[in-house]
């Protein structure tokens, strides 16, 4: 079993399971992600469902806490053109 990164900012509050669940969700949206438009690894989450690439300045929607698979975005892009 993989060890989960514990969130320490809540101390012992709210229960271990909830804190662990939050850790997995936060790991999914924090940091840099791959841009579906220019493939550069610098997409950050602006708000719930809103993502922005700092390289090509594209702002697009995806899931609230994680980016969808690039194939789904590509299909969406193809219908626009
Ligand atoms: Zn980009």
What does the CA dihedral 39, 52, 62, 41 come to, rounded to 10 degrees? 30
Q: Which residues in the chain come in under a pLDDT of 70?
A: 1-5, 69-81
The neighbourhood of ligand 1, an ion, using CB within 5 A, equals: 35, 37-38, 53, 55-56
**What's the gap in Å between 41 CA and the centre of ligand 1?**
8
Residue 72: per-residue pLDDT? 53
d(CA 18, CA 50): 25
- Provide CATH code, domain 31-80: 2.20.25.30
**What's the gap in Å between 69 CA and the centre of ligand 1?**
15
Residue 8: per-residue pLDDT? 87
Residues with Cβ within 8 Å of 42's Cβ and at least 6 positions away in sequence, in order, are 32, 35, 53, 54, 55
Write down the domain spans for the chain.
31-80
């Amino acid at each position: 079993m993989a060890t989960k990164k514990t969130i320490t900012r809540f101390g012992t509050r709210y229960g271990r399971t909830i804190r662990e669940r939050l850790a997995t969700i936060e790991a999914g949206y924090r940091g840099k992600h791959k841009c579906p438009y220019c493939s550069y690894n610098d997409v950050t989450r602006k708000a719930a469902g809103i993502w922005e690439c700092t390289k090509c300045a594209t702002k697009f929607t995806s899931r609230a806490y994680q980016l969808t698979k690039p194939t789904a975005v590509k299909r969406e892009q193809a219908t626009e053109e």
